[in-house]
Amino acid sequence: MAEAIVNSVMEIAEKEGIEKVTLVQIRVGELQQVEKDILRFALSQLRTSRLKKAKFEIRTEKAKLECRACGHTWLFSKNNLGGNASEAIHFVPDIAHTYIRCPKCGSPDFEILVGRGVLLQSVRGVK
Amino acid sequence: MVDPRTSVIVERMKDVKKVIAVSSGKGGVGKSLVASTLALVMAQKGYKVGLFDLDFTSPSTHVILGVGDVRPIEQKGIIPPKVHGLKYMSIIYYSGDLAVPLRGADVSNALIELLAITKWGSLDCLILDMPPGIGDVTLDLVRLMKRIEFLIVTTSSQLAFETVKKLIDLLESLKIPVIGLVENMKMDNSETIQRSTEKMGLKFLAAIPYDSKVEESMGKTRELLRTTVSKKIESMLSKI
């Protein structure tokens, strides 16, 4: 994941003519269950000269799910999952449909409204 | 907002020489069997081969290959385990025997996620077992993979061949290479599919007769390699 983020930051910096990146804002979906400190450490290991002074700002976004069958919305909680399910969702967040059911009607047909994946919110720096 | 995952897919595939998507317009024509047998035959010949089951909602190559209790290794990504001499990846590592009820957008997300995390390393050929039809996986792969070629599977049925023609039309309009067509589960001597394929300017790769022994060989790769399916697939290797 860190590799993908750094690749994308470098592509954006190149495209926008940013010589020195100063701030990278990242939004991590809760469903991904990524430890912020581990991600920050992995990113620091991949710093290029263009990213030498960059600050990585990582924000975790709560995962909100909405049932397509009954319309109920609820927040994801890994506490209700077994270890295997939790690990599976960490690697492939969409596999949540295998392990999670709507708490109201039991349907697996729900939408992940927010809180999946990793998104690059902004890349700032000196041109 | 930028999704960083797609930027790493090209990097993950950089040491893969050839990518073959085994595809069809219809389900039930034997794509998974052709993909699995092709991968096995190539691995037996000494090629470095990977097999990726992309039929997320109905995976079956693990049943054909008799994939046991193996798991990918996590090492700055996912390294697929070796099964019968080939690197094997499937969503079953994460879903087990449970159902995977995914809508189109979820299929697309799962595909991008798995392409971004799977480290294939150096391969002569990566074989993709595709879901049926022209859906999200086909469209995403065409968008995300620089080098991809399609091997089309049909049966002798006009119904299957009609859907296959639409798939071929689409691929040709997108300038995606089509290696050729395999006619599977052939039960008579009709040359209709072969003639129609050649009329479209495509290679007719093999006519595989219906072989009742195939069902008995599920999960037993040694027996599978002794079937007519396997022999026919081996004989088409030079055309791929």
Question: What average pLDDT is seen over chain A?
Answer: 92
Q: Where are the domains of chain A?
A: 2-126
Nearest CA in chain A to B101: A97
Local confidence band at A82 (pLDDT 50, 70, 90 cut-offs) = confident
Local confidence band at A47 (pLDDT 50, 70, 90 cut-offs) = confident
Complex confidence, ipTM: 0.88
Nearest CA in chain B to A38: B76
How close does chain A come to B58, measured CA to CA in Å?
13
CB contact under 8 A, A3 and B100: no
Q: Which amino acid makes up residue A42?
A: A
CB contact under 8 A, A12 and B2: yes
- The whole-angstrom distance between residue B96's C-alpha and the CA centroid of its chain comes to 20
How close does chain B come to A4, measured CA to CA in Å?
5
Name the pTM for this structure.
0.93
Can you tell me the mean pLDDT for A11-21? 92
Strand B178-186 and strand B204-209: pairing?
A: parallel
What DSSP string runs through B18-41?
-EEEEE-SSSSSSHHHHHHHHHHH
CB contact under 8 A, B109 and A98: no
CB atoms within 10 A of CB B77: 17
Residue B94 has pLDDT above 90, yes or no: yes
- CB contacts of B11 in chain A (<8 Å) are 3, 7
pLDDT, tens digit, for every residue of B209-226? 999 889 999 999 999 999
pLDDT, tens digit, for every residue of B65-83? 999 899 999 988 899 999 9
Local confidence band at B172 (pLDDT 50, 70, 90 cut-offs) = very high
How close does chain B come to A67, measured CA to CA in Å?
13
Local confidence band at A81 (pLDDT 50, 70, 90 cut-offs) = confident
Residue A25 phi, psi dihedral angles, 5° rounding: -100, 125
Architecture of domain A2-126: 2-Layer Sandwich (3.30)
Residue B33 has pLDDT above 90, yes or no: yes
Nearest by CB: A118 against B4, B94, B98: B4
Local confidence band at B146 (pLDDT 50, 70, 90 cut-offs) = confident
Residue B2 has pLDDT above 90, yes or no: no
For tokens 């960490």, name the residue.
Answer: A90
Q: Where are the domains of chain B?
A: 5-239
Architecture of domain B5-239: 3-Layer(aba) Sandwich (3.40)
- CB contacts of A119 in chain B (<8 Å) are 1-4
Contact of B170 with chain A, judged by CB distance below 8 Å, is answered with: no
Q: Which amino acid makes up residue B212?
A: S
Measure the CA–CA gap between B79 and B74, rounded to whole angstroms: 6
Residue B7 has pLDDT above 90, yes or no: no
Nearest by CB: B4 against A8, A84, A109: A8
CB contact under 8 A, A3 and B11: yes
